[in-house]
Chain A
Amino acid sequence: MKSNRSISWNRNRAVLGVLATLLVLAATGCRQDMHDQPRFEPLERSSFFEDRKAGRMQVVGTVARGELNEDAHLHTGFVGDDLATTFPFAMTREDLARGRQRFDIMCSPCHGRVGHGDGIVVQRGFRAPPSYHSERLRGVPPGHFFDVVTNGFGAMGDFSDRLSVEDRWRVAAYIRVLQLSQAATMGDLPGDVKSEFQDAMGGAR
């Protein structure tokens, strides 16, 4: 009787021991496979490719769907050999608002919000870009601004990776707006805006 109980107790202990060992083994087997699945997140490092980039560059010459870029006016800012003197699509008020927004985000750090070439980065020592309000830049066609944003100019790098083709034209259009704003006379203002302006200026003309 007594020996039987002792055997069963021993067996229980053995079972418990095995279970505990399994539990420890299972715990050490805990991994983060679900958290880090075998797929790549954007810009993730890859151990497979030589340059360690999971994101692959397009093969030179690839034409992706929607990137045939047939319209030279729209995509290069040139018509024939000359800078485009017109915009490739009609600029609506929304386009100008979008142009302003993109200008403030991308361009104003150097060019300043109004385009005098006195943005914060220039104040910190970057070579000052020319003001949009110079005689020369007031005379250039819109294709010039599109070309500069697309290909860069002097110390300025290109923004073709950060602004879509349409947005570059909208920015070019907004630069025209800025130019107009700085050269506007009282006579250019519509009546209601004029009186509002005069009130704001304390009745000055």
Chain B
Amino acid sequence: MAQIFHPSTNTISRFSIFGALFAVAGLLWLVLFMNRSYYSTQVNVPREQPVPFSHKHHVSGLGIDCRHCHTSVEESAFAGIPPTKTCMNCHSQIWADAPMLEPVRESYRSNESLEWTRVHDLPDFVYFNHSIHVKKGVGCETCHGRVDQMPLMWKENTLQMEWCWSCHEQPETHLRPRDEVFAMGWKPAESQAELGPKLAAEYNVRSALDCSVCHR
């Protein structure tokens, strides 16, 4: 029987045994890369919503405080999505005939909830709590980005564990005075390296790395 492979293929097979190491490493890298890609994390990807609500307009255009609508952010785990009534407080008279707002009016008439598409959805095994972060001086902007510049809502950060960890390990790098928590575009007057540890001491903030801090 004639040989199927030419002797030169020996070189190729030797090379591929050597190269397999790189192939496996490359595959691992690909998985990690995919896991962190915008495609997978949906970071910077605006979501379709039943009404194209603009935080940019309401926050930087009108200067409305976050807590006007997200009323439970200071007391509860959940920041709160406003009921249709909150929208209608103003939109009963402003843009009252705008076709864009018809789903809001329909919701108000029928008493059926608007079904928003969730942008920030943590896995159910993570027990995130807004109120404690707000009380300890973590700004809205720190996690949610410049919401006042988002015409449509998108995720600014991955919300992956390595991202949470980066701040839980060194919280002082991300703290701001409590008065500035709801401000957008805040910058420390002094350097964060000086201010952060001061605030951490004042607010009694320590790095929180126990599993049970977030997982129960």
The interface of chain A, by Cβ under 8 A from chain B, is 34-37, 39, 41-43, 45, 51-53, 104-106, 109-110, 120-121, 124-127, 155-157, 161-162
Contacts and interface: CB of A to CB of B under 8 A. Distances in A.
A121 B91 CA distance: 10
Given A105-B68, A109-B62, A37 B124 contact: yes
A167 to B, nearest CB: 11
A109 B78 contact: no
A52 B112 CA distance: 9
Given A39-B124, A157-B88, A105 B62 contact: no
Interface in B60-91: 62-65, 67-68, 71, 78, 80-81, 83, 85-86, 88-90
Contacts of A39: 124
A169 to B, nearest CB: 18
A109 B64 contact: yes
Interface of B: 62-65, 67-68, 71, 78, 80-81, 83, 85-86, 88-90, 92-94, 112-113, 115, 123-125
B78 A42 contact: yes
Contacts of A36: 123-124
A162 B123 contact: no
Contacts, number: 58
A106 B68 contact: yes
A161 B80 CA distance: 12
Contacts of A104: 65
Contacts of B63: 109, 120
**Main secondary structure on B side of the interface with A:** loop
B124 A53 contact: no
Given A36-B124, A45-B115, A109-B62, A124 B94 contact: yes
A157 B78 contact: no
A105 B63 CA distance: 10
A121 B90 contact: yes
B62 A120 contact: yes
Nearest to A33: B124
A35 B123 CA distance: 4
A53 B80 CA distance: 15
B125 A125 contact: no
12 contacts: A34-B124, A36-B123, A36-B124, A41-B78, A42-B78, A43-B78, A109-B63, A121-B90, A124-B94, A126-B90, A126-B94, A127-B93
Contacts of A109: 62-64, 68, 90
Contacts of A156: 89
A118 to B, nearest CB: 14
Contacts of B113: 43, 52-53
